[in-house]
Amino acid sequence: MNTDTVFKEIERMRNEMTETLMELVRVPAIAPQSGGDGESKRAEKLVQILETMGFTDIRHVDADDERVPSRKRPNVIAYLNGETKERLWIITHLDVVPAGEEALWTVTKPFDPLVKDGKIYGRGTEDNLQEMIASIYAAKALKNLGIKPKRTVALCFVADEENGSKFGIQYLIGQHLFEKNDLVVVPDGGNGDGSFIEIAEKSALWLKISTFGKQTHASRPSDGLNANRVGMEFALALDKMLHEKYPARDDYFEPPESTFEPTKKEKNVDAVNIVPGEDFIYFDCRILPRFDVEEVLKEINILIATFEKKTSARITIEVVSKTVAPQPTDANAKIVTMLREAVETIRGIKPKVGGIGGGTCAAYFRRVGIPAVVWSTADEMAHQPNEYAKIDNMVNDAKIFAQLAMA
């Protein structure tokens, strides 16, 4: 059977793929720390879909989590047996980030998906449902045609990717589900034409910075200490210091420099006429692997000490999340070569292999010495309002996955 037949079968299912993706968007899967009830409902829906398709080998590896009503964070694996025991893992995540500012969703409501101009709009469409559907239908096409793939395909759907993966891929790795010679693809990042294969990543550091002053009436500010002002000044100083101290570029990465972004800010006082006594701001830092994350933290603490002396406010720093970049996947690993060849053969383009912002499930595989690649064709709409998935990307990436299973 030639690959064209398989690709035609995938094309034939284009509308079905779109419908299935939309079905899953309608079942939100938001983490408890973002005010959601986890992934259980979406996982149930997904398993129903897989069973209807005729997947018979579906396994559940749930992690306990008291914070959600179902008391578990679901991880699901659907296998399609191949001619050999070699396994191709395609890892996609069930969870989504919250919608954010609803008013910014101008095309459709975040969990009420809509198709427009070849795109499916809705939260989670691109991150990560587009590739979840692509991986499922790559396997389904083979099933429909009665083709036994060369290697076993393991479709792996994980929880908790957006908040550190403790209940998701980290849990699965802890259960020893994976082996050194497994082929692992994490389609959770990529560029517009699929010409970028990620094998390395930056360290990710999320910080909460708390500033404590003294609350008072705004008409008599000298009776208090404005934590908002000190907090803002500190945030700007920190922003400047980090960019000045760590300007290095590495063209292997995209973007080539470390990034340091002030992001979330917590609500403070309820009234305009109150000088806030507390201020909370967060930073998202993605640091080139050449820099020691502990060193960066040391520099931040030095700046804090200076500010505390200058302002007599108290400033504390809390590491919300820290992922130190693992050793990159070998550029000559089998999965890298297979993927490179698949993209070249099917798309006629030579993909670039390199590093990116990071923070995907691939990092945890690299940490235990299992080569993993991050690849997909995406418009990089993740976490944005009016997030969409291009239907063409979903269909065409399914062909690449089918090729990886067969070649």
Which residues contact Zn ion (rule: CB under 5 A)?
127-128, 188
Q: How far is the CB of 382 from Zn ion (least distance, A)?
A: 6
Q: How far is the CB of 134 from Zn ion (least distance, A)?
A: 14
Q: How far is the CB of 87 from Zn ion (least distance, A)?
A: 22
Q: How far is the CB of 188 from Zn ion (least distance, A)?
A: 4
188/198 with CB nearer Zn ion: 188
Hey, what are 92's tokens? 């996609």
Q: In 3D, which of 109, 129, 95, 94 has the Cα closest to residue 22?
A: 129
Active-site residue, 341 included: no
Set 160, 161, 201, 284: catalytic member: 161
183/186 with CB nearer Zn ion: 186
Interatomic CA distance for residues 165 and 46, integer angstroms: 19
Q: How far is the CB of 26 from Zn ion (least distance, A)?
A: 19
127/387 with CB nearer Zn ion: 127
Active-site residue, 379 included: no
CB-based contact 359:186 (threshold 8 Å): no
Set 62, 95, 162, 279: catalytic member: 95
224/385 with CB nearer Zn ion: 385
307/364 with CB nearer Zn ion: 364
Catalytic residue annotation: 95, 161
